[in-house]
Amino acid sequence: MINILLNGCNGKMGQVISDMLADNPNIHITAGIDTNPDKFSNYYKTYNDIDAVKEKADLLLDFSHADGINKVTQYCVDNGIALVVATTGLSQSQHEVLRQASEKIALFQSANMSYGVNVTIELCKNAAKALKGEFDIEIIEKHHNEKKDAPSGTALMIAKEINSTMNNGLEFIYDRYGKGARKHNEMGIYSLRGGTIPGEHLIVFAGKDEIIEIKHTALSRKIFAEGAVKAVEFIAAKKPGYYNMKDLIKEMCS
């Protein structure tokens, strides 16, 4: 049995995870934490601050907000428990905090827990390699109107992975207003927010007289929750280190 704390338990993802784990025989939510603790009456005790948690756990799963990530990470290090970070919008220095923590605890981080998105990234990397810098690459992401961060963590992850196949020679552009004509070494990353869209990422490879498009559409949040549950199972017994979806997929396929 893996006992977990769920940070951000009263959010959209927190509630999908709670429903998914309600009858799970292998993973038990011992407590939840949310800055809005009374929004739902959960089947586990819910605290408004991690420092108030009394229950013991093996791991903390975080689907909350970047603001709280340093405190949560410190809690996991102090208590010697594993950490799964799904929250996006992290700064460079927060990523560094995670790196340092991973020397002491097992830490899994991914801006997108969906298997399909991670296959999409591989398709994009292969396309970028095959096109040898001759096509312009731009990303358009669409999400619901409550999303706090932009661009999405997934769009940034896709952009960085594509860039890694091109000697990191591309400069990311988030807003073209007033910037004049597109330069060859740019990659535009654009965000649309509206309605209840769970998530869409469109990667456009625009060449001379032809366009290739690779698109991933999330039709519900279940795909992220299923991936997060797999990440919890994957990392629970791991030794300290920094793990991501590539490690999980490698283990699944071996």
> Which residues are marked as active site?
143, 147
Nearer to ligand LLHOTIJI, 125 or 182 (CB): 125
Q: Is the distance from CB of 87 to CB of 64 less than 8 angstroms? A: yes
**Bond from prior residue into 151 cis (ω within 30 degrees of 0):** yes
Q: Which helix (H) or strand (E) holds 101?
A: helix 92-101
Q: Which residue's entry shows tokens 């769920």? A: 6
Which 111-130 residues touch ligand LLHOTIJI, going by CB under 6 A?
Answer: 111-112
Q: What share of the chain is helix, strand, coil (3-state, %, to 5)?
A: 35, 25, 40
Residue reference for tokens 């007033």: 178
Two tokens, residue 33: 């934490």
- From residue 230, alpha-carbon distances to 61, 171, 222 in Å are 12, 34, 12
Q: Are 113 and 244 in contact (CB under 8 A)?
A: no
Q: Which is nearer to ligand NAD, 185 or 220 (CB)?
A: 220
At 237, phi and psi to the nearest 5?
-105, 15
Q: Mark residue 3 as left, alpha or beta (left: phi above 0; alpha: psi -120 to 50; beta: remaining).
A: beta
Is position 184 annotated in a ligand binding site? no
Site for ligand NAD in 206-235 (CB under 6 A): 224
Long-range contacts of the stretch 125-128 (C-beta < 8 A, 24+): 125/161, 125/162, 125/164, 125/165, 127/203, 127/205, 127/212, 127/214, 128/162, 128/165, 128/166, 128/205
Q: Which of residues 153, 162, 228, 230 is near ligand LLHOTIJI by CB under 6 A?
A: 153
In the complex, the smallest distance separating the C-beta of residue 169 from ligand LLHOTIJI, rounded to whole angstroms, is 24
Output the six-digit token pair for 188: 């535009």
Cβ nearer to ligand NAD, comparing 65 with 125:
65
Residue from the set 31, 33, 59, 60 that interacts with ligand NAD by CB under 6 A? 33
| Contact status: 86 vs ligand NAD (CB under 6 A) | yes
From ligand NAD, ligand LLHOTIJI, none, interface partner of 67 (C-beta below 5 to 8 A by class): ligand NAD
Q: Which residue, 164 or 217, is less far from ligand LLHOTIJI as judged by CB?
A: 217
Q: Which is nearer to ligand LLHOTIJI, 36 or 100 (CB)?
A: 36
Q: CB under 5 to 8 A by kind: which of ligand NAD, ligand LLHOTIJI, none does 143 bind?
A: ligand LLHOTIJI
Q: How far is the CB of 189 from ligand NAD (least distance, A)?
A: 15
10 binds, among ligand LLHOTIJI, ligand NAD, none (CB under 5 to 8 A by kind): ligand NAD
Applying CB under 6 A, among 65, 182, 222, 238 the residue interacting with ligand NAD is: 65
Residues within the interface to ligand LLHOTIJI (CB under 6 A): 88, 111-112, 143, 147, 152-154, 199
Residues within the interface to ligand NAD (CB under 6 A): 7-8, 10-14, 33-36, 63-65, 67-68, 86-89, 110-113, 149, 153, 224
